Amino acid sequence: MKIGVLTSEFTKSGPMPAEALFAKIKRFGFGAAQLSFSSVSEMEYASNGQYEIPGEISDCAICVIAGASKRHDVPITVCSGTFNMAHPDALVRGEGIKRFELLAKSAKQLGCGMVSLCSGTRCESHLWTFHKDNDTKEAWEAMIGTMKKAAKIAESHGIVAAVETEMANIVNSPEKARKMMDETNSPNIKMIMDCANLFPAGKAKKENVHGIMRHAFELFGGEAVIAHGKDIAESEGIKFCPTGEGIVDFGLFFELLGQYGYKGDMLLHGIYDEGKIARAYGLIENILASENKGVK
C-alpha cells in the first residue's frame, strides 16, 4: 500500500502547473495521487458548483499531466469525477454524464483505472450542500438513473467508478450505499471508504467510532476500492479536521481494510494546510509500519 494524497490539498489558493504540483507531492513523500483537474493550471476549468469535471480536456493537457506524474514517480491512481447525479434538472445531470464520459477516456490516457463519484444532492447551487428533499423517492430515482448511465460508461471504457458516502448527498449511510450498489448492479460501480464521512450530526463521538466503522465495513467493505484518510473532530455537528487530529481510528481502519481484502492505496484528504500535511503523512506511515496494523 502506498500513501497518496488528493492533489487539491496543495492548491487551496488556486491551481498550479502540473510539474510544480507533482514535484511538491513527491517532496512530501507521497507515492500516489488522486487527480482533480481543477488543481492543474494547464486546464481551462472553473467549477460552477455542480461539476468537478471540466467540460473539455485537451490532449496537450493530458500529455503535460502524464509527463509530470511519470517524472516525479507519483502515479495517478484515481481521477476526481464527482458531479451532481441527483440535480432536479435533468439537463444538469445529462451534462454531468457527458463530462463523465470525457473523463473516463482521459483517465485511461493517464493510465488510471478509477474515477471517483458522489451521489449528488437536490440542492441546485452546490454539489456538497444538503437539501431537505434528498430523502425523497424522486431524488433516489434521479440518482439511480444517472448512476446506471455512469455504470454503462465505466463498463465500456474499462474503468471503475467509486462512490463516496457523504452526509450532504443522497447516499449518506452504509445502508444506502449497499442499496445503491444492489440497484445499479454493475461490477464497475464500487465504493470509496472514507470513515470521516460515516458520522451523522450528533454521532461524532469517540464511543461511537468503532461501531460505526465496523458497521460500514460489514455492509460494503468488500466493495471498497479507494480509501480516503480524512478525519472528523468530536462534536455535535459535522466538523472535519486534519488527518490524525480527530476521532477516526486509523489503526482500526487499516485492520479492517486488511480483513476485507483491500488492495489499493491510502489517499490523504481534508487537510488543506501544508503545515500539517507532513505530520499527517508521518502518522499514516507509522501505522503502516506497525507489524500488527499494517496492510500487507
3-state SS of the chain?
A: CCEEEEHHHHCCCCCECHHHHHHHHHHCCCCEEEECHHHECCCCCCCCCCECCCCCCCHHHHHHHHHHHHHCCCCEEEEECCECCCCCCHHHHHHHHHHHHHHHHHHHHCCCCEEEEECCCCCCCCCCCCCCCCCCHHHHHHHHHHHHHHHHHHHHHCCEEEEECCCCCCCCCHHHHHHHHHHHCCCCEEEEEEHHHHCCCCCCCHHHHHHHHHHHHHHHHHHEEEEEECEECCCCCCCEECCCCCCCCHHHHHHHHHHCCCCCCEEECCCCCHHHHHHHHHHHHHHHHCCCCCCC
The confidence band for 82, taking pLDDT boundaries of 50, 70 and 90, is: very high
Query: Domain containing 236: what range?
Result: 3-289
Q: What is the pTM of this model?
A: 0.94
Q: Is residue 117 part of a domain?
A: yes
Q: Is residue 85 part of a domain?
A: yes
Q: Is residue 104 part of a domain?
A: yes
What is the domain count for the chain? 1
| Residues recorded for the chain | 296
The whole-angstrom separation of Cα 51 and Cα 117 is 10
The predicted pLDDT at position 165 comes to 97
Closest CA to 97 of 138, 38, 145, 163: 145
The whole-angstrom separation of Cα 218 and Cα 268 is 23
Q: Is residue 150 part of a domain?
A: yes
The predicted pLDDT at position 52 comes to 83
The confidence band for 44, taking pLDDT boundaries of 50, 70 and 90, is: confident
Average pLDDT, integer, range 269-280: 94
Q: Is residue 63 part of a domain?
A: yes
Task: Specify the range with the lowest mean pLDDT, choosing from 83-87, 215-219, 272-276.
Answer: 272-276
Percent of the chain with pLDDT over 70: 96
The predicted pLDDT at position 201 comes to 94
- Per-residue pLDDT at 296 exceeds 50: no
The predicted pLDDT at position 49 comes to 65
44's torsion region: left (phi>0), alpha (psi -120 to 50) or beta?
beta
- Per-residue pLDDT at 29 exceeds 50: yes
How many other CB atoms are there within 10 angstroms of residue 183's CB atom? 15
Q: Is residue 296 part of a domain?
A: no
The confidence band for 45, taking pLDDT boundaries of 50, 70 and 90, is: low
Average pLDDT, integer, range 4-16: 93
How many other CB atoms are there within 10 angstroms of residue 193's CB atom? 29
Q: Is residue 295 part of a domain?
A: no
Percent of the chain with pLDDT over 90: 90
Average pLDDT, integer, range 69-82: 97
Q: Is residue 236 part of a domain?
A: yes
- Per-residue pLDDT at 21 exceeds 50: yes
The predicted pLDDT at position 50 comes to 75
- Per-residue pLDDT at 229 exceeds 60: yes
Average pLDDT, integer, range 122-136: 95
Average pLDDT, integer, range 270-290: 93
| Domain at 161, CATH number | 3.20.20.150
Please state, rounded to an integer, the average pLDDT across all residues of the chain. 94
